[in-house]
Structure 1
Amino acid sequence: MRTLTLQEVEDMLHGAAIYGTGGGGSLEEALQVVRTMYAAGKRVKLAGLDEIGDDWLIASPYYVGSVAPPDPEVVKRFAELPVTADEVPTTALRALQAYLGRPIQAVIATELGGNTACAMETAASQDIPLVDADPAGRAVPDLAHSTFHVHGVSIAPFALASRYGDTAVVTAVVNHAHAEMIARNFAILFGNTAGVCDHPVDGRRLKQSVIAGTLTQAERVGRAMRLANERGESPTEAILAAVEGSRSLIDGVIREADWQDVKGFTEGQVVIEPSDAEQGELPVTLWFRNEHMIARRGEQILSIIPELITVLDQKTGMPILNPDCTPGMEVTVVTFPAPAAWESDKGLSIFGPEYIGMSRQTYAAGKGR
């Protein structure tokens, strides 16, 4: 088990945000959370899967919601209510723990991105380890997009919490889709943000169901980016070198960027013109639902889920959230291979091209292109 320094935590969050594929939560907010936490004397203890006891109880605390501003009526409804001091994923964990009647002994991030800080904060505030693994290997838009789902681990019971102190425990759900519907609508009711703590699981089953080593890999990527910037080297090249099988799709300038809130999801597209376009060379268009789903040049698919697609600032290598993409930005679009769990038949059925209305054959066609 390793107690992380603030620098290690910040490197980890930068790397996690790169793996966040345009979603996964705000890096800026995540960094503020951990800096405040470390200033208060709290520390993150990182545990490998082999350090987790088979009989331990582990769960996943995180945020659910949309970056869209809440409806004005919702703002007015809660204007006089105080906001709880705790981060809402921690409130949700306490509610789940109380329902289960036993302590949660470690937490695992539900995905990679700024939201990884939620699990860090909960782990540090409860003085329990954070597991060096996650059930996505990236950021994902839906509660069903989890290797827990691939391996048949139930999401329930799970707890929900609002920033005003409301909590609810869902004792059973028909499937992950119903869990998503319940959590998403709970978040909408309380201003597009809620805390969740789900997938309570024992250590033995956890080890069979998640992707190992993802946080240390995120730390390596974040450190590579930081050191390249410090040395005056190319951070995007350093990031690509740190991720086996990665490739650059385009260096260019954002020409168009738009998004909207669609039933609690952030959906939109980004169009990138090549920096040194030869005559007739087409731009690359990205479409996202919280996270980037597909990259195209004309009708050619360059990359598609479950592969990872990320927009980086060309000069700094910093990942850019989808809603923050702005015309005129100079960017590099990169893609990383999908974790093996997503390439199984079950994985592709849950989080493959069919999720966005494409045929599964498009994955094979776009992979490694």
Structure 2
Amino acid sequence: MTWQLTVDDLDDLARGATLLGTGGGGDPYIGRLMVQRAIEQNGSITIMDPDELPDEITVIPTAQMGAPTVIMERIPAGTEPVDALRALEKYTGRIAEATMPIECGGINSMIPLLVGAQTGLPVVDADGMGRAFPELQMETFNVYGVQGSPLAIADEVGHSFIVDTADDTPKMEWLARGATIRLGGAAHIAEYTMTGRQAKDTAVPRTITLALKAGRALRQARESHGDVISILSAALNDTLYNKVVPLFEGKVVDVERTTDRGFTLGHALFTADDGGELRITFQNENLVAVRDGQIVAGVPDLICVLEADTAEPITTERLRFGQRVRVIGISTPDMMRTPEALNVFGPSCFGLDHEFVPVEDSAVR
């Protein structure tokens, strides 16, 4: 069902988007503030259920691109995503009738909302990653046949240009990543122009609603001092993300983090009071969790680190020595676990030498 998003929804939505970002996706705090201001100026945002999209409508997703560590330090002007959208419309001759997230995690849950509030376009309640991934070809849009190129990229001082690599989406990512680095490590993009029919066939559905549900559940767990696993499991039970698995409880004892090739790369080490150990490897997002030498979760499933006391999600750039945490795994939809999908964003795509095992199976071994 199509619905209206208001300022009152933004805190819970941002919290849920941080969870779905699996450590990456960029901290949505600045994005939330920009969306709040745009709603206050222009009114609520129409969130359109994918099932209600006309087949021939033109949908153009919008997003921010860059390393999360850079995004924390570079405040956007707020004009960049619409500039990218307009540049792509001009190049393709197709006018957007809706926009949509490319990912439902982190700041990119907010960028299409900003576009919707500024332009009046509806925002489709779906996305192309079902979480956050670090590279633009890692989209269900790409997996199921939508061409990513041409892409428009824009910065905060009005520069914009087009990357057109025809059907070579990995090359589009490579060129756009290089351009983003040269624009200071962060920029905004519009890409994957598609029809409403293609959006219905290739997007992960209702992930804005999912983020809102997850954020409310985390807030309720904190306010009630209840068990976060039980409360989050109940909230997600009727969604495509219906397995919530406890992975570890302990504290952060080491973080190795660097910004390289336009990504935030590194590892985090956690220890439990009983001496157990968990190691998470990340590339913007958490990729694999290894507990006492055993893989307990890995891409594309979600690995989420929460503050032990508040149930607030912690991004990779905010991990610090001494934080007490709970680490949980969340299952992804079946469309993200097919052989075709795993060939695009499964473990091997990140240089990991293990096969994908669903978190609900691997965590109990």
Q: Same fold by TM (over 0.5)?
A: yes
Q: Tell me, in whole angstroms, the C-alpha distance in 2 between the residues paired with 1:22 and 1:66.
A: 12
Paired residues of 2:84 and 2:160 also in contact (CA < 8 A): yes
Confirm or deny that 1:196 pairs with 2:189: yes
Alignment deviations for residues 216-272 of structure 1 (CA, whole Å, 9 cap, x no partner):
111111111222333343445422442321111111111111200121110011111
Instruction: Say whether 1:98 aligns with 2:99.
Output: no
Q: Per-residue deviation at 1:61?
A: 0.5
1:62 aligns with 2:60: no
TM-score (norm 1): 0.90
Q: Could you tell me whether the CA contact under 8 Å between 2:287 and 2:299 is conserved in 1?
A: yes
State yes or no: 1:148 paired with 2:148.
no
Provide the secondary structure at the position in 2 that maps to 1:225. helix
- Indicate yes or no: 2:362 matched with 1:367: yes
- Tell which deviates more after alignment, 32-41 or 335-344: 32-41
**3-state SS in 2 of match to 1:106:** coil
Is contact 2:69–2:317 with CA below 8 Å preserved after alignment?
Answer: no
**2:149/2:167 contact within 8 Å kept:** no
Whether the 8 Å CA contact 1:84–1:164 is kept in 2: the answer is no
**AA in 1 matched with 2:60:** A
> Secondary structure of 2:352's match?
coil
Aligned length: 354
Q: Deviations over 1:50-106 (max 9, x none)?
A: 221111100111011113459xxxx9xxxxxxx985432221011111222232011
- 1:65 and 1:144 map into 2 onto residues whose CA distance is 15
- What secondary structure is seen at the aligned counterpart in 1 of 2:60? strand
Pair 1:309–1:13, CA change in 2 (3 A): same
Name stretches of at least 5 consecutive residues in structure 2 with no aligned partner: 237-241
Cα drift, residue 174 of structure 1:
4.8
Q: Find out whether 1:108 has 2:100 as its counterpart.
A: yes
Secondary structure, counterpart of 1:199 in structure 2: coil
Q: What is the alpha-carbon root mean square deviation over aligned residues?
A: 2.0
Secondary structure in structure 1 of the residue aligned to 2:281: strand
Aligned partner letter, 1:62: A
Task: Give the Å deviation of 1:110.
Answer: 0.6
How far, CA to CA, are the matches of 1:236 and 1:256 in structure 2? 25
* Code of the aligned partner of 2:297: S
Cα distance in 2 for partners of 1:368, 1:339 equals: 17
Amino acid of the structure 1 residue aligned with 2:186: T
Which among 261, 270, 293 is matched to residue 263 of structure 1? 261
The residue number in structure 2 matching 1:320 is 314
Q: How does 1:1-369 map to 2 (within 5 A)?
A: 1-69=2-70, 85-112=77-104, 113-235=106-228, 237-243=230-236, 244-274=242-272, 276-277=273-274, 281-359=275-353, 361-363=355-357, 367-369=362-364
| CA deviations over 1:252-295 (Å, ceiling 9, x no partner) | 11111120012111001111111x31xxx431000000000000
In the TM superposition, residue 144 of structure 1 has moved relative to its aligned partner by 0.9
| Alignment check: 8 A CA contact 2:229 2:245 kept | no
Cα distance in structure 1, aligned partners of 2:121 and 2:167: 31
Stretches of structure 1 lacking an aligned partner (at least 5 in a row): 76-82
Q: CA deviation at 1:364?
A: 5.9
* 1:298–1:251 Cα change, 3 Å: closer
Quote the offset at 1:305 in angstroms: 0.7
SS at match of 2:107: coil
Counterpart residue identity of residue 192, structure 1 = G
- 8 A Cα contact 1:236 1:312, kept in partner: no
For normalisation by structure 2, the TM-score amounts to 0.91
Q: Which amino acid aligns with 2:321?
A: P
| Matched-pair contact (CA < 8 Å) for 2:163–2:176 | no
Deviation at 1:359, TM superposition (A): 3.9
* CA offset digits 1:147-189 (Å, max 9, x no partner): 0111111001221111111111223345221111111111111
1:311 is displaced (CA, Å) by 0.6
SS at match of 1:230: helix
The amino acid across from 1:193 in the alignment is A
Q: Which residue of 2 aligns with 1:78?
A: none
